[in-house]
């Protein structure tokens, strides 16, 4: 069976338009660091300016309707844009942004006024957004969160603490879940908000990790207008579900895990230098290659399901689970085949493939973002009726 996508003449012409535009607009700021944490403030600034241009062009969120700041393009256009951006990913500095998680609940549950006011700055790349979900006592069990937003007249007053927010540089915008009715039952006590991160009472400290640095954020009597609550009070869990459905793998993905390309580059160079893999190593590399392509096909299937508005069940978590487990397997294969050189980082001239193999060793153990391996299994069990607790997929766009 041939799963490959066939492109129409119109799509090929659009691809050329995207390529030509990227050639002209990708910022020329020298070789970027492998580890996103080492991006300099100048590179971050250039990256944000590029994002702004992409947003102005309508290609940052191409399928978002024009009246909400997108381009109203088809998913076929979005596929071409995604492919071209991922092809050039190593030239474009990464800007951590979770706007893609905040826009869907706004589209589903926001009022018309909110869609026109809150979505365009995200869709046009004028702001980046943090996803304010996790707290010290509320990670996998997100509904246990304790940050409160208590209504006082036309505002809510927010108090609490969020963990694991954003990237090395602060975002301007925050998609935040809080308890708005401490007396209501679990899941019915929450509301979602979109707010600026520079409001009085918000303070943050960096949260150092061994990859993908984040921030802890404290909220001390932060006043937010009622108009910034997404949908009705008490609809927070529905917003969370719409977001998590996509974050747990439902948004799908295009392309192979990038470590595969880097590892194949390493193997080609090693072969030229006389390194011959033994039979067991060859088997493991071929397994890794096949499993990476299985991941790619799961990603494509989910992308297609989303684009064609098909109701998913276990598929999002299947992609996420497969990717996380294979990430761990890949790092073991790379380490066993390459040896200790796979642990040499980009700052050392002995690093292999500019340090990409080392970065993957650190990245692969981070299986917590977007739900852990165990939680993906729990979701799948519930959705294929293997668990006493049944669960339906949430509404997505
Ligand atoms: C790099 C990184 C980036 C992140 N980015 C964000 C972000 O931008 N915004 C945000 O809000 N959060 C973010 N997170 C937080 C992430 O969503 C949480 O780490 C995740 O939900 C797990 O929560 P926890 O860390 O509290 O672990 P816990 O929930 O305490 O889990 C600890 C362990 O117990 C297991 N476990 C828990 N419950 C069960 C169960 N019912 N059955 C079986 N096993 C279970 C888990 O699988 C895990 O192994 C990020 C985390 C990381 C590491």
Instruction: Give the Å distance between the CA of 281 and the centre of ligand 1.
Output: 34
pLDDT at 136: 96
Looking at the fold, whether 299 and 213 belong to one and the same domain comes out as no
Stated pTM of the model: 0.94
pLDDT at 74: 94
For residue 277, being part of any structural domain is answered with yes
The CATH number that applies at residue 218 is: 2.40.110.10
Q: Which of 193, 369, 381, when mutated, tests ligand 1's pocket best, judged by the most ligand atoms within 8 Å of its CB?
A: 369
Average pLDDT over residues 333-337: 98
Same domain, 379 and 260: yes
Confidence of residue 109 (pLDDT cuts 50, 70, 90): very high
Domain boundary among 50, 69, 95: 95
Residue-wise DSSP of 297-363: HHHHHHHHHHHTT---SSHHHHHHHHHHHHHHHHHHHHHHHHGGGGG--TTSTT-GGGGHHHHHHHH
Q: Which of 65-74, 209-218, 364-373 has the lowest mean pLDDT?
A: 209-218
Q: State which ligand 1 atom lies nearest to the alpha carbon of 98.
A: 8
Q: Which atom of ligand 1 lies nearest, measured to the CA of 130?
A: 8
Q: Read off the CATH number of the domain in which 331 is found.
A: 1.20.140.10
Domain coverage including residue 68: 9-95
Does any domain span residue 325?
A: yes
pLDDT of residue 307: 92
Helix (H, G, I), strand (E, B) or coil at 284: helix
For a mutational test of ligand 1's pocket, the pick from 94, 134, 386, i.e. the residue with the most ligand atoms closer than 8 A to its C-beta, is 134
Atom of ligand 1 nearest to the CA of 133: 11
361 in the same domain as 311 = yes
At 390 the pLDDT is 84
The dihedral formed by the CA atoms of 88, 321, 105 and 165, expressed in degrees to the nearest 10 = -70
> Is 372 close to ligand 1, i.e. is its CB under 6 Å away?
yes
Q: In this structure, are 147 and 195 located in the same domain? A: yes
Q: Which residue has the higher pLDDT, 129 or 38?
A: 129
Convert the pLDDT of each residue in 110-154 to its tens digit: 999 999 999 999 999 999 999 999 999 999 999 999 999 999 999
Q: Are residues 76 and 177 in the same domain?
A: no
Cα–ligand 1 centroid distance for 138 (angstroms): 8
In a domain, residue 397? The reply is no
In this prediction, residue 391 has a pLDDT band, given cuts at 50, 70 and 90, of confident
CATH code for position 25? 1.10.540.10
Same-domain check for residues 13 and 50: yes
Which atom from ligand 1 is nearest to the alpha carbon of 138?
Answer: 26
Q: Do 83 and 204 reside in the same domain of the chain?
A: no
Confidence at residue 301, expressed as pLDDT on a 0 to 100 scale: 95
CA distance readout (Å), 55 to 49, 125, 126, 275: 10, 5, 8, 46
Are residue 178 and residue 57 in the same domain, yes or no?
no
pLDDT of amino acid 169: 82
Q: What is the mean pLDDT of the chain?
A: 94
pLDDT recorded at residue 208:
83
Q: Is the pLDDT of residue 11 over 70?
A: yes
Do residue 215 and residue 276 come from a single domain?
no
| Total domain count, the chain | 3
| CA 378 to ligand 1 centroid distance, Å | 13
Environment class of 254 (CB within 10 Å of its CB; exposed 0-12, middle 13-18, buried 19+)? middle
**pLDDT over 80 at 1, yes or no:** no
117 located within any domain:
no
Give the pLDDT score at 65: 97
Ligand 1 contact, 175 CB (< 6 A): no
- Asked if the model's pLDDT at residue 209 lies above 90, the reply is no
Per-residue pLDDT tens for 280-328?
999 999 999 999 999 999 999 999 999 999 988 999 999 999 999 999 9
Residue 3 confidence class, pLDDT cut points 50, 70, 90: low
Q: How far does residue 369's CA lie from ligand 1's centre (Å)?
A: 6
Q: How confident is the model at residue 41 (pLDDT cuts 50, 70, 90)?
A: confident
Residue 76 shares a structural domain with residue 184: no
Same domain? For 322 and 362 the reply is yes
Distance CA 116, CA 48 (A): 22
Residue 230 shares a structural domain with residue 272: no
**pLDDT of 364 over the 80 cut:** yes
Cβ(99) – ligand 1 distance below 6 Å: no
pLDDT band at 30 (very low <50, low <70, confident <90, very high): confident
Does ligand 1 come within 6 angstroms of the Cβ of 65? no
Which residue, judged by its Cα, is nearest atom 31 of ligand 1? Answer: 140
Q: Whose CA is nearest to atom 50 of ligand 1?
A: 369
Does the pLDDT value for residue 172 go beyond 90? Answer: yes
- Determine contact, residues 76/11, Cβ cutoff 8 Å: yes
Whether residue 134 has its Cβ less than 6 Å from ligand 1:
yes
Domain boundary among 209, 234, 259: 234
Residue 115 resides in a domain:
no
Query: Taking 70 as the threshold, does the pLDDT of residue 35 lie above it?
Result: yes
pLDDT above 90 (res 93): no
pLDDT given for residue 21 in this prediction? 98
Radius of gyration of the chain (CA): 22
């Amino acid at each position: 069976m041939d799963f490959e996508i066939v492109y129409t003449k119109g799509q090929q012409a659009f691809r050329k338009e995207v390529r030509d535009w990227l050639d002209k607009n990708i910022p020329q700021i020298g070789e970027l660091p492998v580890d996103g944490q080492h991006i300099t403030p100048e590179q971050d600034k250039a990256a944000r300016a590029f994002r702004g241009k992409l947003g102005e062009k309508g290609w940052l969120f191409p399928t978002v309707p024009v009246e909400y700041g997108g381009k109203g393009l088809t998913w076929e256009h979005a596929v071409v844009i995604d492919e071209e951006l991922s092809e050039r990913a190593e030239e474009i500095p990464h800007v951590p942004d979770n706007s893609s998680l905040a826009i869907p609940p706004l589209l589903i549950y926001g009022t018309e006024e909110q869609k026109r006011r809150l979505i365009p700055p995200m869709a046009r790349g004028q702001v980046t957004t943090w996803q304010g979900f996790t707290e010290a006592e509320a990670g996998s069990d997100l509904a246990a969160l304790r940050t409160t937003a208590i209504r006082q007249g036309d505002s809510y007053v927010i108090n609490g603490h969020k963990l694991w927010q954003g990237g090395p540089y602060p975002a301007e915008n925050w998609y935040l879940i809080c308890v708005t009715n401490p007396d209501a039952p679990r899941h019915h006590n929450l509301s979602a908000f979109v707010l600026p991160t520079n409001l009085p009472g918000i303070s943050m400290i960096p949260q150092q990790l061994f990859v993908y640095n984040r921030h802890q954020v404290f909220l001390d009597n932060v006043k937010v207008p009622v108009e910034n609550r997404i949908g009705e009070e008490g609809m927070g869990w529905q917003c969370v579900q719409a977001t998590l459905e996509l974050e747990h793998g439902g948004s799908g993905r295009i392309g192979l895990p990038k470590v595969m390309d880097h590892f194949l580059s390493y193997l080609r160079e090693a072969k030229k230098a006389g390194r011959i893999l033994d039979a067991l190593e060859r088997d493991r590399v071929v397994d890794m290659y096949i499993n990476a392509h299985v991941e790619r096909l799961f990603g494509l299937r989910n992308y297609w399901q989303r684009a064609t508005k098909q109701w998913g069940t276990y598929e999002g978590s299947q992609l996420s689970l497969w990717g996380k487990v294979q990430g761990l397997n890949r790092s073991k294969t790379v380490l066993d085949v390459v040896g200790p050189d796979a642990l040499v980082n980009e700052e050392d001239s002995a690093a292999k493939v500019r340090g990409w193999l080392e970065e993957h060793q650190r990245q692969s153990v981070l299986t917590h973002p977007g739900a852990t391996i165990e939680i993906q299994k729990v979701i799948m069990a519930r959705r294929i009726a293997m668990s006493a607790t049944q669960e339906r997929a949430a509404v997505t766009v």
